[in-house]
Structures are given as structure tokens and as C-alpha cells.
Structure 1
Amino acid sequence: MLDTAILIGRFQPVHSGHLALLREALARARQVIVIAGSAHQARTPKNPFTWEERAAMLRGALAPQEAARLRVLPVRDYYDQARWVAAVRAAVAPHVQAGARIALVGHFKDASSSYLAWFPDWQLIDLPRQGDIDATRIRDAWLGAEAGDSGALDATLAPLAAHLPDATRAQLQALAATPHYADLQQEWRMLRAYRAAWAGAPYPPVFVTVDALLRCQDQVLLIRRAQAPGRGLMALPGGFIEQRETLWQSCLRELAEETQCALPEAQLRAALRGVAVFDHPDRSQRGRVISHVHYFDLEGSGPLPAVQAADDASEARWVPLAQLGAMEPQFHDDHFHILDHFLGLTPPL
């Protein structure tokens, strides 16, 4: 028997296919570690549940003696393969002894399952597909129900009942009774319409955006998004590049439009410390979005430049670097990780 079996996933939400993999892991090892991915993010249609809520679904679906052998560990989406692998290993390490026999349990579903090949020193237990359900289908049904009508929600979930453990169904119903649900539904509808508008394109679209990371006196300039996707979440000022713009021109325009920051171009050029490209295929729910982030450090000791929200921002403000770590679940898409890339907000692995 193995010492430890590891199961990695988002579990948004937990369904019968996940449980089949989990029970196989429990049958093969003394302890099972579940890595709950996409941890510490804001609630979105793709990731509506916190890692704690997903852990409750997993434990609630097991008998007490099985749940006692289960550990659920959160891991961020670093949008960086090497760093994510290191984070998974760092999370697992305190819970296994030297020389332990470790296996990774999973199923090669599609490109999103490529992580199963990233741990060559762990035995791979590659299982066939467990049933014909997936979490996307459940989320679409759940988010498509009529808001505020528990009967409509029950009717919507009824065809999926065989795939929903009681603990999962309880979490779906509990979140539907909160203000988060209406916001998630609104964003879900917006994203569906957005993708439908591009469905007739001859090739899947690739969008190019820019963002500005403006630092001054150990504070950074952030906006609160006024529109979906990510309405109400914190973000860097930025947006889509226009047809007759360079990346630099687009960055300056978006910074001025969203924050009314009136710094001269020459001062911003002198403050530019670097440009990095963020191109992970899953970084945006809109689809394939590649962002060029310009990092400025104004340094100095004078007053912070005046800012005021405008255009797509409902708020623009300077935020001390010391506060950013605690704000991680409030950020849109991968913007916390962009800040982390430049500013080192999370501990090294």
C-alpha cells in the first residue's frame, strides 16, 4: 500500500467523477492529499467557491473514517509552471516522510491535465474517465437558474442529481442564497455573450492588452473595475490596445483614461523600470488575452500624484505595498500575480 496518494484539481464544484478518483486514492494509500488549485482567488463564474468551501464538499462526501485520512491543501494559480510545481511540492513536503511512497492519481482529460506529467518522481496512477459529468456543465446549469427562486434552482439541478454529492448540493444552494450569486450570474451571462460574439471568427481570437503598474513611495496605483468581467474587483489600470497605437501609447492612454493621472510622458519614460508579458492561456476568462505590463517607479518623497476614477474604473487610489498581500482575493484575473512578479508579495518557494 502507498504511503500517500495525491489528487490535484479545482473541484469547482466537487462531483461524482472527483469522488471516484478520491475513493480510488483512498483505496491505494494510507493518507490522501488533495491539492485545491485556484486558491485565494476572487469568486468568478469559473471559480465560484473558496478553497475552504471545496474542502468542505470533499470531506462532507466521505464517511468520517475516510475523511480522517484526507488533507486538503490550497495552492495558488501562479500562471508559471515551474513555480506552481514548486508550490505543490512545498505544500506536500511537511506531510510526508523521507522515502515515502507517493503516487499522483488523475485522468488525462485534455490539455488542462498536462500537470500529471510534471512530477516524474511520483508514481502516476492514470485512471479512465470517471463518468460523463464535468464541473463546467454543473456551473452552467447552476448559474443559468433563475435568481431568487429556490424552486427553479432545484429544478435546474435535478437532472444532475446523480452527480452531485449532498455536500456539494448544499454548497450550491447556500451560495445561491447570498448576494454573490447574482453577481456571478451577471458575469456568467456577460462572458457567454462575449464568447458568442466572437464565435463566427475564422480563427479563435487572441486579444492584446496593456496594464500600468505605477509605484510611488512604496504605494501602487490601483483601480476598482466598474464593468464585468470583474466588476467591483481591484486591478491595474489598463485595457485593450487600439488599432493605431503602439503598446507604449496604449499604456499611457489607459493610465490617463482610468485614473486621470496627469504625469508628463517624459517623467513616465524616465520612471519605466521594465515591461513583462503575461500570456498564460488561462489568465483571463474572456479567452486568450496577452498583456504587456509596464512597471514604473516614480520614487521621490513629494506628494503622491493626484488620481480620480474615470472611464472603466469606479475607484482609483494609491495602496501601500504592505496591504497588498491581504488583498489577494479581491483582485481581477491574474493581477495579484502581476504585482507579485514585480514586487515579490508572496514568500519564495
Structure 2
Amino acid sequence: MRFDYLVFIGRFQPVHLGHMKVIEAAMQQAGKLIIICGSARQALSPRNPFTQDQREDMLRAALPAEWQDRVFLVGCSDRMYNDQQWVTEVQNLVDKVIAVDTANVGSREAQFRIGVIGSPSRRHTWYLDLFPQWERVEVEDEPDIDASHIRQGLLCDGGKHFADYARKLPAAVYGWLEQFRSGETWQTLADEYRWLQDHKKAWSVAPYPPTFVTVDAVVIHSGHILLVRRRNLPGRGLWALPGGFVNEDEPVRDAAIRELREETRLKVPAPVLAGSIRANRVFDHPRRSLRGRTITHAFLIELTPTGDGLPKVRGGDDADRARWVPLFEFTRMEAQLFEDHFYIVNWFLGQI
């Protein structure tokens, strides 16, 4: 074998024949394959409809029996605003898999031949350039396969045209997805997909694709962060930062304070909130929102303890609930957070 281990990074939403082509090529060149499953802990959405465990179920169902023990799958979080954190996590995951896999080899040091495998198209795999220490193996894309189109077929119009995508999926995966369509999670995702399509249709008459401007407030008080639970689609039921769209007649800072007070009923005067702003940043990842191009201005607000405890809050406007969450608890809430709000908060916490 040319390699001891090959690393295959992807989202597998869902597993399709393009993925299987890469896996087959890896099995021919490496003793073991380490699959890094991205977006492993993000909240479910039409773009990320399957959990990490569900994606592993699909993958295992599609793998031949003789490959099962040669393939490892581990989940990796997204780091939308910090590539180096993401690279470090991938490197650590690969190191841990190899350490566990070779635990019984003995104490001698071993040099393993490691490579990374993926598409030659930089449009989809630019991130492979972030691992120059691993030799790169390129596998041509399987023609006419796009995971976003498969997800669209799964969720659009009740999935009535999903059978058209059977030829792009391993038979076992197609059967798995057919069963998935009968569940409550599928219905929730289909409702959100329909809402998003209606939203985009309403803006289709614009002379050019619209760009939306929003604000978010990252409010910290005595080791707690203030979150709201979304009342409406998209992301109904997910936790989020207080925020919303900017009115045409207000500065972004004023919009952040207005949305904060409307959604949490926080009884702190606006001048005090403005004076408590410690940092701000624009978050503009092109795929941060399924609603379309949405650029948010986020503000870090640190409130000074007064001896009276945490200020009382309650949900209002677009939020059905507001609560102070201990920061240690927040670090485990990635799968419950709307859009990129988990990553926004982590960026600010790194600045405190």
C-alpha cells in the first residue's frame, strides 16, 4: 500500500456515489481510511439535515463488509471564523485515531505514511491546501452529483420527486433516506425548506440578489451569556443571540440595542448598554444563513456585576423565551444554536 492512512474530509449530507468513488480509490491505496465528518455538531437544518451518527449509519450501510474494519469515522466541528482552530482539530482527530488504532503495536516509535484524498476542484476542496504535510491524492468528481440537489429532492414538495435521485445514491443509502422521510424530523425540515423557498421567491423580483444586514448582541454577565429561543421559522425552537434586521433609519449599534431590549425585555437603560460595548465585528461568511446573503454586525456587551444578581429577562417579539446560560453550559450547546451564533460567541470569548 502507498499509504498507511488516507484522510477524507467531507460533510456527507447525505452519503452519495461521489463519496463512494473516493472511498474506493482510498481503499486501493491505503491500509486504513480516516473519514472526517464535518459540521458534526451543528443544529439540524435543510443544509445539515443529518446528525453525525445518522451519516455514519448511512456510510456503514453502504460499505462492503471487508472494508468496515479499515474505515474510521470521526466528527469535526465547523470553525467558520477561525481556519487554524479547524485545522488543529482535524490534526488532533487524525492523531487520536492513529494512536488508538496502533495502541497494541508496542512502545516503539513509528513513522506513518499519511495522505489526504479529495477532489481536484478547488471550488469544493480548497481546504485541502491547509494540510501541506500530507501528500494529496486527487479523485475526479463523479459527474452530475451535487449533494445540495439531493437534499432539495428529499425535502421539496414532500419529496415526491426523490426517486429521481436513486441512481446517485448507494442502494442502502437510498433505502435509509426513504425511511427517514417517514419521520417527524423530515417533516420539520421540509416545513423549514418550504419557508426558505417562499422567502427567496418573495425577493426574486429584485433586480439583483439582495444582501440583508442584521445585528446580534453577545451579552455577558458574571460568567453567563444571554440567549433567546426562536419563536418562528427559520430555526424555530433553536437558541440564538438576541438580534434582528436593521431598520433603514438607524445605525447598527442602535439596532443591536433595540433588538436586545425587544427580545429579552432586559431592564438595562440603552445608554448603559451602549457604554458596556467592549468589541464589535462583522461576520459575513457567504453561507452563514440559508435565507440568503446575510451580513451581521455583532456587539460584545459586558455588564458589570452589581450585587443584585443576573438581571431579569423574558422572551419578547420574535423570541418565546430568554435566559441567562452559564458559559460552561454554552460550550456544549453547539447543536442547539441557530446559524453561526455558536461560532460568533466563541470568537468574542477569545477576545475577552
Q: Check whether TM > 0.5.
A: yes
Say whether the 8 Å CA contact 2:8–2:35 is kept in structure 1: yes
- Amino acid of the structure 1 residue aligned with 2:65: P
Deviation sequence 1:183-207 (CA, Å, 0-9, x none): 1111111112222333343433322
Choose the corresponding residue for 1:332, options 289, 313, 338. Answer: 338
Say whether the 8 Å CA contact 2:257–2:274 is kept in structure 1: no
Report whether the alignment pairs 1:295 with 2:297.
no
1:93-112 matches, within 5 Å, as 93-96=95-98, 99-109=111-121, 111-112=123-124
- Amino acid of the structure 1 residue aligned with 2:94: V
3-state SS in 1 of match to 2:285? coil
Match of 2:287 in 1: 282
Say whether the 8 Å CA contact 2:11–2:37 is kept in structure 1: yes
Match of 2:104 in 1: none
- Which runs of 5 or more residues in structure 2 are unaligned? 100-109
CA-CA distance at 1:67 after TM superposition: 1.3
- Amino acid of the structure 1 residue aligned with 2:238: L
- Amino acid of the structure 2 residue aligned with 1:216: H
Say whether the 8 Å CA contact 1:21–1:130 is kept in structure 2: no
Partners of 2:170 and 2:53 in 1: how far apart? Answer: 17
Match of 1:347 in 2: none
Say whether the 8 Å CA contact 1:224–1:233 is kept in structure 2: yes
250-259 vs 287-296, greater mean Cα deviation: 287-296
Identity rate of aligned residues, in percent? 40
Partners of 1:36 and 1:125 in 2: how far apart? Answer: 18
Match of 1:9 in 2: 10
Match of 2:28 in 1: 27
Match of 1:42 in 2: 43
- Which runs of 5 or more residues in structure 1 are unaligned? 147-152, 345-349
Structure 1 residues 122, 306: closer, same or farther in 2, change over 3 A? Answer: same
Match of 2:146 in 1: 134
- Amino acid of the structure 2 residue aligned with 1:144: C
Deviation sequence 1:249-292 (CA, Å, 0-9, x none): 10111111111213112221332221122222222112222212
Structure 1 residues 113, 170: closer, same or farther in 2, change over 3 A? Answer: same
RMSD: 1.8
TM-score when normalising by structure 2: 0.90
Choose the corresponding residue for 1:304, options 310, 325, 328. Answer: 310
CA-CA distance at 1:109 after TM superposition: 4.1
Partners of 1:167 and 1:42 in 2: how far apart? Answer: 25
- Amino acid of the structure 2 residue aligned with 1:33: I
Match of 2:234 in 1: 229
Partners of 2:296 and 2:18 in 1: how far apart? Answer: 35
Say whether the 8 Å CA contact 1:16–1:164 is kept in structure 2: yes
Partners of 2:58 and 2:172 in 1: how far apart? Answer: 5
Partners of 1:69 and 1:219 in 2: how far apart? Answer: 44
Say whether the 8 Å CA contact 1:38–1:75 is kept in structure 2: yes
- Amino acid of the structure 2 residue aligned with 1:122: W
Match of 2:105 in 1: none
- Amino acid of the structure 1 residue aligned with 2:93: A
- Amino acid of the structure 2 residue aligned with 1:135: A
Match of 2:126 in 1: 114
CA-CA distance at 1:332 after TM superposition: 0.4
Partners of 2:58 and 2:197 in 1: how far apart? Answer: 27
Say whether the 8 Å CA contact 1:16–1:131 is kept in structure 2: no
Match of 2:244 in 1: 239
Report whether the alignment pairs 1:175 with 2:175.
no
36-45 vs 81-90, greater mean Cα deviation: 81-90
Say whether the 8 Å CA contact 2:263–2:316 is kept in structure 1: yes
Partners of 1:202 and 1:123 in 2: how far apart? Answer: 46
- Amino acid of the structure 2 residue aligned with 1:95: V
208-217 vs 45-54, greater mean Cα deviation: 208-217
166-175 vs 269-278, greater mean Cα deviation: 166-175
Partners of 1:207 and 1:302 in 2: how far apart? Answer: 38
Deviation sequence 1:309-339 (CA, Å, 0-9, x none): 1111111111222221232211101111122
Match of 1:149 in 2: none
